[in-house]
Amino acid sequence: MKKFALVLPLEQLAAVAEGKLIKIRECTCNAVASLEEADENTVVFFQDTKFEKAFAESKAGIFLIPEKLDLNTLPKRNYILCSKPYFSFLRIVAYFLQSTQKPVKGRDIHPTAIVAESVIIPDNITIAANAVIGENVVLGDYSSIHENVVIKNDVVIGERCCLFPGVIIYSEVQIGCEVSIHAGSVIGSDGFGYIWDGKKHQKIPQVGRVIIEDDVEIGANVSIDRGALGDTIIRKGSKIDNLVQIAHNVEVGEYSILCSQVGIAGSSKVGNNCIFAGQVGIADHVKIGNNVKIGAQSGVPNDIPDNKIVLGYPAIDIGLQRRILASLKELPDMRKYFHRLKKEETNVHS
């Protein structure tokens, strides 16, 4: 359960949820929780029938439920009827969270922050302790730069961005609006490029950029390398989990999801609306189509066309891969059967 200082009446909760209020008793709420943890001042949601028992026993103050449910079959309680209860619940959680966050208003620059004179500082900005901002950086209005962030020269950051503690932004990176980058992530480091010259591994200079478009969220300890010549691009709306590695000249399409420990090798292209589960590995120069889903720990050495769901190494159609995996447990018996047949055939011919 998460409690907040803000206390909301049912009518305001219904307005935030964009639903229809069915009120049986007066109530105010200041918390969100699961069905099991809720008390009489808590907002919860219910939409999955497998949680019917928890729903029936919950003590929540108000329930967000699907509008299609028949109220005559439900206990007499406070409800908000919603087309999508979980999405409405998320709006309420976000509304509560806004009440706990200090708004970015005016210039709040900590005295230990080091900000170059050439930096374009907007009217509304927060720059926390020990942040270092280099020459010719452009900072967007209403953005927040947390403790120990380092922003190198010639970086552009859009409006309403948040860089959490310890983020490092290398030079010439471009970041759009409403981008969040969590602690410890490194954006714009050199791509991993070397060539053997007969005596040693000669470094290939990495002179491209990283471009991050609007509404992107990047988790903690993510590394996104700059392009060798062109740019590494993260398109708008994409979400990147913790511990992801994106190599030089990769392009990630719009509204794609990269889960933890995904690794994408250089110059690969990822389409729009893709989902890569944990520990997926993409080889270099691979093209992934739109709406592709890749199961956990899969390895992708070859291109994948649009609208495919794949799994395994090498990643193949998930239906076929599941049949292959199901067959593996039968291999010991199949081996015994094969050897018995082989022995019988030998006896026949002897």
Q: Which residues are identified as catalytic? A: 248
Cα–Cα distances in angstroms (integers) from residue 152 to residues 7, 40, 67, 164, 251, in the given order: 43, 50, 51, 16, 23
Which DSSP string do the residues of 149-213 spell out, in sequence order?
A: -EE-TT-EE-TT-EE-TT-EE-TT-EE-SS-EE-TT-EEEEPP--EEE-SSSEEEPP---EEEE-
CB 265, CB 283: distance < 8 Å: yes
H or E element that contains 223: strand 223-225
CB 10, CB 21: distance < 8 Å: yes
Cα(43)–Cα(210) distance, rounded to whole angstroms?
41
* DSSP annotation of 36: T
Which DSSP string do the residues of 107-159 spell out, in sequence order?
A: EEE-TT-EE-TT-B--SSEEE-TT-EE-TT-B--TTEEE-TT-EE-TT-EE-T
Classify the phi-psi angles of 289: left when phi > 0, otherwise alpha if psi is within -120 to 50, otherwise beta. Answer: beta
* DSSP annotation of 228: S
